[in-house]
């Protein structure tokens, strides 16, 4: 198959982990007789430095012409003093909005070989396999009005949590579809005891559920969900929720595994290219040292192969290769206390390619 992939390395360790991904993609081309074309673009701080804006029309056009987008990470201390609407993160938010990436999927799985790095007890995390489905283009992060007002001599800041029936329906459907392919269990997370948008959310879930009688579903309040995730994470299969709740819960869930450098994420639209990225940031403290863990980005590639290219065999082979190098005891510096034996980014990438 022929595919075009946009590569947006971004800042910090972004370029290093993206380079690792391209090496692995090239190996997959060879092994499975595919042809991938790579189109590079700027985003975040590196785009600000070059073009004065975190997201250019050119980068957007590149992404739109591709079948999938790989992003490294954006941000760093160099750009921390910029006003909110000019910061590197704005590039990522803009990209999500422009590509209409309404569904953010974050699989949270335990790597048996790394179970000791979880802050939770072994018997709690054994076998955890959760898919968090977060709505990504609506809710509090985009609702209007969002502004400050002077009211009776005081300063008032306003954000708006707004959702339409259609916005809720498409993300909830995505959740049910995924549950159907997995353990057929869906938990919809909301705050329906307080928020009107959550009451509409619940209504829509109940309606959509009628189309998925084979999926067992339930509602859970977000504060309870936050607690249940650390008390008994195994109870969850697919969790579907709105933007901000999903932002918080997915970070919480990622810490269950204790492996920030391991976890991938994908953001999908109805028809355009999907965006694939590691969940970690630009790690400015280790940037440029060839020591970043590339595995979260390589897992993101596995999601790209599966979700955007329907290359399930290739995706499985890559995920198996990642598991194998971990089982063989190979570790990057973030995964071990024995610094002398830690592999560099390029060494770890080579191990995965060998395992493939």
237 given a catalytic annotation:
no
Dist CA 241 CA 223 (whole Å): 12
Q: Distance from CA of residue 191 to its chain's centroid? A: 23
Can residue 277 be called a binding residue for Mg ion (CB under 5 A)? no
State the binding string over 267-306 for ligand NAI (x if CB under 6 A, else -). ----------x--xxxxxxx-----xx--x----------
- For residue 219, the Cα-to-chain-centroid distance in whole angstroms is 23
32 is annotated as an active-site residue? no
What are the angstrom distances between the C-alpha of 216 and each of 179, 185, 186, 239?
9, 5, 6, 12
Residue 75 binds what, of Mg ion, ligand NAI, none (CB under 5 to 8 Å, by partner type)?
ligand NAI
Catalytic site residue 191?
Answer: yes
Report in angstroms how near the CB of residue 250 gets to Mg ion at its nearest.
7
Question: Per CB under 5 A, which region of 55-63, 179-187, 239-247, 321-329 contacts Mg ion?
Answer: 239-247
**Closest by Cα among 219, 163, 222, 160 to 191:** 222
Nearest to 301 by CA among 75, 36, 111, 48: 36
83 labelled ligand-binding: yes
Establish whether 247 is a catalytic residue. yes
Spell out, one character per residue from 158 to 197, where the chain touches ligand NAI: x when CB under 6 A holds, - when not: ----------------------------------------
Q: Is 284 annotated as a binding residue?
A: yes
- Find out whether 67 and 1 touch, Cβ atoms under 8 Å: no
Q: Which of 272, 244, 75 is nearest to 143 (CA)?
A: 244
Dihedral (Cα; 322, 324, 330, 332), 10-degree rounding? 10
Q: Are 76 and 99 in contact (CB under 8 A)?
A: no
The listed partner (Mg ion, ligand NAI, none) that binds 261, CB under 5 to 8 Å by sort, is ligand NAI
Rounded Cα–Cα distance for residues 305 and 314 (Å):
7
CB nearer to ligand NAI: pick between 188 and 297:
297
Per-residue string for binding with ligand NAI, 307-336, x by CB under 6 A? ---------------------------x--
Among 247, 277, 314, 334, contact with Mg ion (rule: CB under 5 A): 247
Which is nearest to 256 in space by CA: 234, 273, 271, 280?
234
What is the rounded CA–CA span in Å between residue 134 and residue 240? Answer: 6
With both helix axes pointing from N to C terminus, report the angle between 312-327 and 295-307 in degrees, rounded to the nearest 10.
Answer: 160
Ranges within 51-90 binding ligand NAI (CB under 6 A):
73-76, 89
Binding residue count for ligand NAI, defined by CB under 6 A: 21
When CB distances to ligand NAI are compared, the closest residue is 281
Find which of ligand NAI, Mg ion, none residue 247 binds, CB within 5 to 8 Å per kind: Mg ion
Spatial neighbors of 127 by CB under 8 A, at least 6 apart, are 110, 234
Question: What residues make contact with Mg ion under the rule CB under 5 A?
Answer: 247
Residues in binding site for Mg(2+): 223, 247, 251
Residues in binding site for NAD(+): 76-89, 281-293
Question: What residues make contact with ligand NAI under the rule CB under 6 A?
Answer: 13, 73-76, 89, 92, 260-261, 277, 280-286, 292-293, 296, 334
């Amino acid at each position: 198959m022929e595919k075009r992939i946009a590569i947006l390395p971004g800042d910090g360790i972004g370029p290093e982990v993206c380079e690792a991904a391209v090496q692995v993609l090239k190996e997959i081309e060879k092994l499975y007789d595919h042809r991938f074309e790579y189109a590079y673009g700027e985003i975040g701080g590196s785009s600000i430095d070059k073009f004065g804006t975190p997201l250019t029309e050119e980068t957007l056009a590149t992404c739109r012409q591709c079948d999938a987008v790989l992003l490294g990470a954006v941000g760093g201390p160099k750009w921390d003093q910029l006003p909110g609407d000019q910061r590197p993160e704005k590039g990522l938010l803009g990209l999500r909005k422009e590509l209409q990436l309404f569904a953010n999927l974050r699989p949270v799985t335990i790597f048996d070989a790394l179970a000791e790095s979880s802050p939770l007890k072994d018997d709690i995390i054994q076998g955890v396999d959760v898919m968090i489905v977060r709505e990504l283009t609506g809710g509090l992060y985009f609702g209007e009005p969002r502004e400050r007002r002077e009211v009776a001599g005081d300063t008032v800041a306003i954000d708006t949590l707004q959702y339409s029936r259609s916005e809720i329906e498409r993300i909830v459907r995505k959740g049910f579809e995924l549950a159907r392919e997995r353990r057929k269990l869906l938990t919809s997370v909301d705050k329906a005891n307080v928020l009107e948008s959550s009451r509409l959310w619940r209504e829509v879930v109940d309606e959509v559920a009628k189309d998925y009688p084979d999926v067992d579903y339930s509602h859970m309040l977000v504060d309870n969900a936050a607690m249940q995730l650390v008390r008994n994470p195994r109870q969850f299969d697919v969790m579907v929720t709105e933007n901000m709740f999903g932002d918080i819960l997915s970070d919480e869930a990622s810490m269950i595994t204790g492996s920030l450098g391991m976890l991938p994420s994908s953001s999908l639209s109805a028809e355009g290219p999907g965006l694939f990225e590691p969940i970690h940031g630009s790690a400015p403290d280790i940037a440029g040292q060839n020591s970043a863990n590339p595995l979260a980005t390589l897992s993101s590639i596995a999601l790209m192969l599966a979700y955007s290219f329907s290359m399930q065999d290739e995706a499985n082979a890559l995920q198996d290769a990642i598991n194998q190098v971990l089982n063989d005891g190979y570790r990057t510096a973030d995964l071990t206390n024995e610094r002398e034996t830690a592999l560099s980014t390029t060494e770890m990438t080579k191990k995965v390619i060998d395992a493939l």
